[in-house]
Amino acid sequence: MQIGKAYYIKLGEGGEWEADSVRNGLLRIGWVNNTLADINAGQWNLIQEQLRAAQPNKGIATRDLNALRNIATSTPDDVWITFHASRLWWCHLALGPVEEDSISKFRRTSGPWKDSDASGKRLLLAEIPGDISQVQGFQGTVCSVKAADGLRRLLVGESSPAYKAVTKAVDALEKEVISAIRLLHWKDFETLVDLLFRQAGWRRLSVLGETMKFADLELEEPITRDRYQVQIKSKAGTAEFTSYRDHFSGQGFRKLFFVVHTPHPSLTQDHSNDFVELIMPDRLAAMIVNAGLVSWVLTKIR
């Protein structure tokens, strides 16, 4: 995707035109004191005089003039973005003049507003880079998006060079963590798994290492109060896992987690079901990195 220019627009005061614009493929604007004829004829000197007459602050009047001119002259190569319903929406404008209906002036989009990238991933506001989402704080109606290349990458679903570099480093770290946890004493491995779940906010109900018939840990999720059991194995094969899976009856527990750091080759496929979940080395290593427990592992294998 090539981007000519990139603009952010605030669709109405307090976002009053967001839903209608997104639903009907429009870019709604104000400028009620300026005529369609003057706008579409490009009478910018006249419009500037009109804006300055209505707005004594010359800076604001000039800002409004530039915004209106950008809207009126924008081509289909330009990208327009806005924020609605906690998502980023984007579109291109169709060729054609500024129009008007009973609601407001507007330009038509060349296709529907989109809230996802080229791969279909939703552009959730919480996941938008800060140099793009910060345009929401702009006090006027329209502003240029300075991070145009970052916006292009976002819309096509392309990762930034920094993201690629960090991801590569994290992947390499996780592979090393897999090797590291296999060096742990079985008691330290039990403690590590306990720390993983507790770091995630779960409460331990059982005493670690206490003799229980079916599990090494019993946990409670504090929000839902659902209870879980955890079986921890340094090594295990398919026969051992399926035995636990097939004999797990729940008995007041929502799920059994079966955690193993060195599975037998027969356990390479995921044999989980809705009630028994297998946690293999790759996922376990990612959990350790995400929980910030790499340093803890290092102290045990030094």
The pLDDT value recorded for residue 169 is: 97
pTM comes to: 0.77
The pLDDT value recorded for residue 245 is: 85
- Give whole-number Cα distances, 80 to 100, 142, 151, 207, in Å: 19, 10, 11, 57
Report, as ranges of residue numbers, the positions in the chain whose pLDDT lies below 50: none
The pLDDT value recorded for residue 114 is: 97
The pLDDT value recorded for residue 209 is: 56
The pLDDT value recorded for residue 206 is: 78
- Give whole-number Cα distances, 231 to 205, 216, 220, 243, 255, in Å: 14, 5, 15, 12, 11
The pLDDT value recorded for residue 213 is: 60
The pLDDT value recorded for residue 266 is: 83
The pLDDT value recorded for residue 216 is: 87
Crossing angle of the two packed helices 281-290 and 161-181, in degrees rounded to 10: 120
| Domains present along the chain, CATH in parentheses | 6-156 (no CATH), 163-301 (3.40.1350.10)
